[in-house]
Structure 1
Amino acid sequence: MGDGPKLSVCIVTYERPAFLERCLRSLEAGLDADAQVIVVDASAEDRSGLVRSIRASAIYVHAPHLAGWMTRSRNEALRHARGEIVTFLDDDVVLRPGWESALLAAFADPSVAAVAGRTCNGHDGEEHYALPVGRLLPDGRLTDGFASVQDGLVDIDHGIGANMSFRRSLLAELGGFRDDYPGTALREDTDIFLRVRALGRRAVFAPDAAVDHLPAPHVRGARFDTRYKLYGRRNHMVLLARDGGLGSPLLRKWVGGQFAAVGRSRGISAKAKRLGVTIVGVAWGTGAALRQAKPRPLPPRREDALGRELRAALGDGVSASHPERTRGEGGR
């Protein structure tokens, strides 16, 4: 990898040309000239002219067949990534000054395999967060805090998809993203970070590698609508089942917590609505988990055809420096 760029920045986009343009202008102003930029666009219209008018060297992949599948678009970007560090940014973020240097400084520590950068949403008080950042809790819930200000690097269990980076060798070892988190794609970013953890690698939150998240409207539905909540429950159950197996105590505790939360809703109407969403979401998630998980944790490395293809495209990341057996492999 010594002949390639230090950094590849991947943008996945779908029918949001104004936000894509804003993001690309931010990259053009904030990245070194030799950084690789890759855009995978699932929109109906080819916008290669727009992309290359801003950054002539950008790789543009027009892939309308990937509409509705964010992680499949992410994997498409990996086919073209040549940087030692591979970043994924949402198309509705802009870089804050110093983002690239802060990111590379975090990876200067050889123990760091993955980085979640600070993602600022403009909400009052978001720079303060009382809980540990980016943790998977014993009851199956996830903590947030990715907009908070911290004193240096913070070890995390999971990161945020709007601003996440990995060593290319690690993505090769993993065989890319699991690309079957549908709908809103909730938890696809959590999934890959938990797989990093399952390999015994280190992920950190780097607050100085900051972006401003200026949310674009969803092409279908709205954030936090019923569709969003249903997919959230479905995908969270699949996530926990894959990470801990179908018998995961975290999965059982999380489901119990969802029903307990119904009783804390205010008013009969709110209770009834939340109960309905919880029943449907948990039932859907149960069916999906039974199909897509196993009694024991899934191996973090993809060994299917796509995983092997992406491993070859990225360069095999399995090396003698990491000979340990990983959870869910071998004699489990």
Structure 2
Amino acid sequence: MRIGDQQVPTLGVCVVTYERPDFLVRCLRSLADERPDLEDVVVVDASVASSHELVESSFPGATYVHDPGLAGWMTRSRNEALIHVRGDVVAFLDDDVVVRPGWAAALRAAFLDPTVQAVSGRTCNGLPGEESYHQPVGRLLPNGRLTAGFAAALPGPVEVDHGIGANMSFRRTALAELGGFRDDYPGTALREDTDMFLRVGALGGRVVFVPGAVVDHRPAPHVKGARFDTRYKLYGRRNHVVLLARHAGGASPLLWRWIAGQFRDVLSAGGPGRIAQRLGVTLVGVVWGLAVLPSAAGLRPLPPRRADDASRRIRAVLSDGPPRAAAQ
């Protein structure tokens, strides 16, 4: 499709899933009306049992990849999706979102600007007042904290530092240059999406929040544990330490300002019991993050481009095109 003299980029969609077939079906069915704007849909499923027939009935023609060995590693599932997906732009959706009409067209229009290398779409959670946000959306602040606001109903696109993993898109060439996702953020993979956006920015690419590319995030229960439980908070602190060390360096003031701020926040937790609980979570999470820095990061920032066998495979496939046969 062309708009004026410009060829509109084609769009491939990747959905990774684990033991949530009902939510996956809901997501895929919401993509049905977007089909004219979609080049491809790829599902990577780490569940024990295959849902191939369910996926085919929900979105006929989707590529389905079933690999239980990917369980517990969302970023590895995303990298596997990159081996199979077609399209000039690659979008990632969580399996518990529903896309609103016009989502795909808004993404394709955003990438008409050749300087745009990554897009975060609007992700609504059904919370009162979330359409208003009184800080800059999607920024990495000088104190190491991240602003959010990805449900904000802004009048138009704005430049951001990072986006939200439930509704994020990247130019295929940028994904190839980066070598895919860093796949060693454990647990619920917190900050792996932020990492990807910051790496795009480190290469000089523009990252944009596009409020017209809307999904409704209707969170599914976690297979293990509750959403935002202690485990989630531990992984969040651990992964944030790693994120900042990778992008600014383990000796950077940015990292240590963030750590100091986390411990100052302990006193705002409430009564003695809550203070003790937050202190424990903060201490364990931060120490855990610092303990892995010798192998996960370094004193200086890491290069944004991955350089291992897995990234070279991803880079080659994204440059030459995916295999045509769907994995079963």
TM-score after normalising by structure 2: 0.94
Residue 271, structure 1, aligned to residue 290, structure 2: no
Aligned equivalents of 1:57, 1:141: Cα separation in 2 = 42
Unaligned runs of 5+ in 1: 318-332
Report the equivalent of 2:146: 142
Structure 1 position 129, deviation (Å): 0.2
1:126-168 Cα shifts (integer Å, max 9, x gaps): 0000000000000000000000011211100001000000000
8 Å CA contact retained: 2:33, 2:101: no
Task: Give runs of ≥4 in structure 1 deviating > 4 Å.
Answer: none
Unaligned runs of 5+ in 2: 1-8, 322-328
SS of the residue 1:31 aligns to: helix
Instruction: Look up the equivalent residue of 2:160 and give its one-letter code.
Output: I
| Percent identity (aligned) | 66
Report the equivalent of 1:151: 155
Residue 231, structure 1, aligned to residue 235, structure 2: yes
Structure 1 position 313, deviation (Å): 0.6
Of 224, 231, 252 in structure 2, the residue corresponding to residue 248 of structure 1 is: 252
8 Å CA contact retained: 1:117, 1:209: yes
Report the equivalent of 1:176: 180
Residue 309, structure 1, aligned to residue 313, structure 2: yes
Report the equivalent of 1:59: 63
TM-score after normalising by structure 1: 0.92
Aligned equivalents of 1:56, 1:161: Cα separation in 2 = 25
1:219-272 Cα shifts (integer Å, max 9, x gaps): 111111100000000000000000011111110000000100011121111111
Aligned equivalents of 1:184, 1:156: Cα separation in 2 = 23
SS of the residue 1:179 aligns to: coil
Structure 1 position 285, deviation (Å): 0.8
Report the equivalent of 2:73: 69
8 Å CA contact retained: 1:172, 1:316: no
SS of the residue 1:32 aligns to: helix
Aligned equivalents of 2:254, 2:27: Cα separation in 1 = 37
Report the equivalent of 2:128: 124
Residue 24, structure 1, aligned to residue 28, structure 2: yes
Structure 1 position 316, deviation (Å): 7.3
Count of aligned pairs between the two proteins: 313
Aligned equivalents of 1:154, 1:34: Cα separation in 2 = 24
8 Å CA contact retained: 1:173, 1:316: no
8 Å CA contact retained: 2:13, 2:38: no
